[in-house]
Amino acid sequence: MSGMYPFRRGLVKEPSAKRIQKVCCKSINSFCPVSPWFLLPLSPFSCITSFRLVFGSVIGKFFAPLYLRKIKLIRWPVKHVDHELDEKVPFRADTVKCYMDFINIWIRPLNMLLHRYGWLQGSRHCAEFMRYLIKTYTYALKIYRHCMTTTYRTPCDEKQVKKLRAADPHYCCVPSLHISIVCLCFSFYKMLFDRENFTFMEKQRWNWELYSRAVEIGETVLYLKQHSVNCIPAALYMLTRLAPELFTASDAVRFVNDLFQKAEDVAEKDKVEIRSHIIFMYERFLLEGTTEDDWTLPITRWLDAYEAYTPSYAK
């Protein structure tokens, strides 16, 4: 059992029918993304994990390296990873709100768990998810230590985009934590809903909601030029290696194939090329990784050899 669920710590008491009834008809989007920040550090089942996630991982393994590299206190190499297919996706400043929702997409379900199970019992499930997040940041840092990565970004005067860029030194593109985290979110809850016997209504509503939002956010990383098409396969490969019990190759291919399905501003021919490139790179990493003890080698070898394309908006 521990091998199947490596971050599970004890069993969680079943919620009452009254609690289930109160939340089962709500959308995930209706749950407040603020209260878990205050409630989870107070629970004995999630307090240590909460602090490890925020201070040890988000700050210590992501923001600290970013800003230390920006002010040159660390000298990790930085290289561009742009690809010519990036120009096939138009720049859209209006997607910035959706892009920033990659934080709330995993916090809102934590609040749902706190409401459905109660604060104490729900915090056990929340801690399990946060342990996966900690592992995600730990895995990504292994690549960033080898080589930090960036992309060219289209000039923009839109206020929210300027705020985003001012706060983001933009050196951690491969692998894309945006992609890894949104895919971890929908795949973890799919597992949890099955394992913990959530109702059919809950599964049907929430699995689709989390998955479709993950796809939307996945598209925005290209719309905003925050990532290249090269950043996505590395993220999917990393997630496949760190959580194979949650995220499989078929999940990765399905996610990629659903990108830009409804987009009217990307030509159909370009959609096919973008998806084909991402899947090809993902399968390349996956195949090379089967013969390596170190999962990072397929990505680091590619980074060492890659010669980036310079898009027209960077000239």
**What percent of the chain lies above the pLDDT cut of 70?**
99
**CA 181, CA 186: separation in Å to the nearest integer?**
9
The token pair at 180 is: 């890894």
Average pLDDT over every residue of 20-32: 96
Three-state SS at 78: strand
What are 157-195's pLDDT values in tens digits? 999 999 999 999 999 999 999 999 999 999 999 999 999
**CA 29, CA 161: separation in Å to the nearest integer?**
23
- Residue 154's nearest CA partner among 222, 97, 102 is 222
The token pair at 146 is: 């080898």
Residues in the chain: 315
pLDDT at 1: 46
**CA 221, CA 232: separation in Å to the nearest integer?**
9
What secondary structure does DSSP assign to 26-55, as a single string?
S-GGGS-SSHHHHHGGGSTTTHHHHHIIII
Q: Phi first, then psi: what are they for 273, rounded to 5°?
A: -65, -40
The token pair at 29 is: 């989007």
- Residue 58's nearest CA partner among 134, 171, 114, 155 is 134
Number of H helices, E strands in the chain: 14, 2
User: Which H or E run includes 309?
Assistant: none
pLDDT at 81: 98
- Residue 311's nearest CA partner among 93, 110, 83, 147 is 83
DSSP state, 5?
S
Position 2 pLDDT exceeds 60: no
What are 182-236's pLDDT values in tens digits? 999 999 999 999 999 999 999 999 999 999 999 999 999 999 999 999 999 999 9
**CA 82, CA 277: separation in Å to the nearest integer?**
13
Three-state SS at 80: strand
CB 146 within 8 A of CB 171: no
Q: Phi first, then psi: what are they for 35, rounded to 5°?
A: -60, -35
* CB-CB neighbours of 44 under 10 Å: 9
Exposed e or buried b for every residue in 271-295, given b needs 16+ CB within 10 A? beebbebbbebbeebbebbeeeeeb
**pLDDT tier, 3 (very low <50, low <70, confident <90, very high otherwise):** low
Mean pLDDT, the chain, rounded, equals: 96
User: Which H or E run includes 87?
Assistant: none
Position 124 pLDDT exceeds 50: yes
- Residue 141's nearest CA partner among 253, 287, 242 is 242
User: What is the pTM for the complete model shown?
Assistant: 0.96
